[in-house]
Structure 1
Amino acid sequence: MDALAVHRWGDGPEVALVHGGAGPKTTWAGLDSLAERWSLLLVYRRGFPPSPPVAGLGQDFLIDAEDLASVFDEYRPHVVAHSYGVLGSLLAAVRNPWAVRSLTLIEPPLYFVADHDPAVARLRRLGDLVLTEGLDTDPAALREFLVLSGSPGIAEGPLPAAAAAAVRRAHHGRLPSQARPDLDALRGAGIPALVASGAHTPALETLCDALAIALDAHRVTAPGAGHFVAAAPGFADRLHTFLATGA
């Protein structure tokens, strides 16, 4: 398969930024200041130009893992991953833990770590429904999922263009509920980890709390930007501190 596009920005040790269902520019707004101390590698996942198109009908965290393993092996970066991008990132890290200096995981749909929680289980069911049915999902269920997942500007009436585009891209993707990265292996490898969330949905807070325990990770809550935690006030400084001292 053709390699992913990786745009380098800044100067210093490499930090690979792996976006989820939204593109890099939207996902990583707010991290500009990090380029003063770090080389930011904006990784464009398959299906997001200028990277190659997806190989099947939709996004696939197993293919992401193959793609990202090559990036991680080349740069041995700190990895900052968001949402669906966390799944492939973790699978790539399990394959070769020594290719990853640290892991920062932002609101991943890694439901299995807390699927016993009713709110997490409902979020999983809604997420699977939206990925399966796309914009044909029952409108009430689609809006509930988008609100719970922290998408901005969701109200009655037509969906915002960015939200509709994200749903189209996610349609037919491999379901996050199928992801089972070996968290014990990552914890055993001693990779420093940070789990971050935006304090906008209790289910995601529960999930991130459980993930932090599973990885023995630092835990940060940064409200103010919904699902796009990187843009929350103060998050860039907290991320810099972790990268500089926690890894």
Structure 2
Amino acid sequence: MDDVVVVRAGSGPQVLLVHGGAGPRTTWGALSAMADRWALAYVHRRGYPPSPAPSAGQDYEVDARDLAPLLAGCPHVVAHSYGVLAALIAAAAAPGSVRSLTLIEPPLTYLVRGDNDVARLEHLGDTVLTYGMDTDPSDLREFLHLSGGSADDGPLPHQVVAGVRRAHGARLPSQARPRLDLIRRARIPVLVASGGHAAAHERICDALAIALGGERTVHVGAGHFVAAAPGFTDRLDTFIRMSESQDPRT
């Protein structure tokens, strides 16, 4: 089987969850209670079992093609970090197939040019994805701190090393140019969320919300893994319910 695996829980309107560099359990575990109201569909991107491995490195263009058939049911899409790139590409290709978009701390650094913090984030991300565990140790730990990985002194945990190796050779997010204009033109409800832990992420999310005409929210307490922060689940639930009520198809 070459298809990616989607694990489903709950019932109701579908919420498609697209993780980034960490797996679905780490990224979305705090949202499990939402299955009381929504049909949660946990996408496992290529390279994250039980989905198959990618033919080359991680690639948001391939991920977008994997997401395309999953939009047939017109879900609400919630995406995190690297997974946002694929979600935006897929949504721009079929904007009528997405009820809402919730976008969490994407690496869309091109939206904020001339900012030193954002430029540093772009440099670190491109370097780690290009060189993997051969990245300068201080740069690697700085990147891990910004992206939610353990970056304490001492040996890196096994799961963090595995994550860096999985990301090694990925298509660089700095090359992504999703058609934000098509998404805004389609008037898809958008919520852009961040964790209040890094200036670069805040400025990118501010710019993305403006570009898409979307709502903006900040939830402190879980770093890059914003879905686990206090208040996020309630905010997401409210946003999806409002998007449902405004959709003429419901």
Question: Which TM-score tier does this pair reach, normalised by the shorter chain?
Answer: over 0.9
Instruction: Name structure 1 gaps, 5 residues minimum.
Output: none
Q: Does structure 1 retain, via aligned residues, the 8 Å contact 2:142–2:151?
A: no
Q: Contact between 1:154 and 1:160, CA under 8 Å: does it hold in 2? A: no
Identity score, percent: 61
Q: CA deviation at 1:246?
A: 3.6
Runs of 4+ in 1 over 3 A off after TM superposition: none
Q: Which amino acid aligns with 1:125?
A: H
Deviations 1:68-122 (A, max 9, x none): 111112x210000000000011101111001111000001111111132111011
1:116-157 Cα shifts (integer Å, max 9, x gaps): 211101100110000000011000110111112233x31111
Work out whether 1:182 is the aligned partner of 2:179: yes
One-letter amino acid of the structure 1 residue matched with residue 146 of structure 2:
L
Aligned residues: 244
Is the counterpart of residue 110 in structure 1 residue 108 in structure 2? yes
Question: CA RMSD, aligned part only?
Answer: 1.1
1:1-247 pair list within 5 angstroms:
2-56=2-56, 58-73=57-72, 75-151=73-149, 153-247=150-244
Gaps of 5+ in 2: 245-250
Q: Which amino acid aligns with 1:37?
A: R
DSSP-derived class of the 1:28 partner: helix
Q: Which amino acid aligns with 2:63?
A: D
TM-score (norm 1): 0.96
Equivalent AA in structure 2 for residue 66 of structure 1: R
**Partners of 2:74 and 2:164 in 1: how far apart?**
32
CA contact (8 A) 2:78 2:101 kept: yes
CA contact (8 A) 1:110 1:207 kept: yes
Residues in 2 aligned to 1:123 and 1:86: alpha-carbon distance in whole angstroms: 16
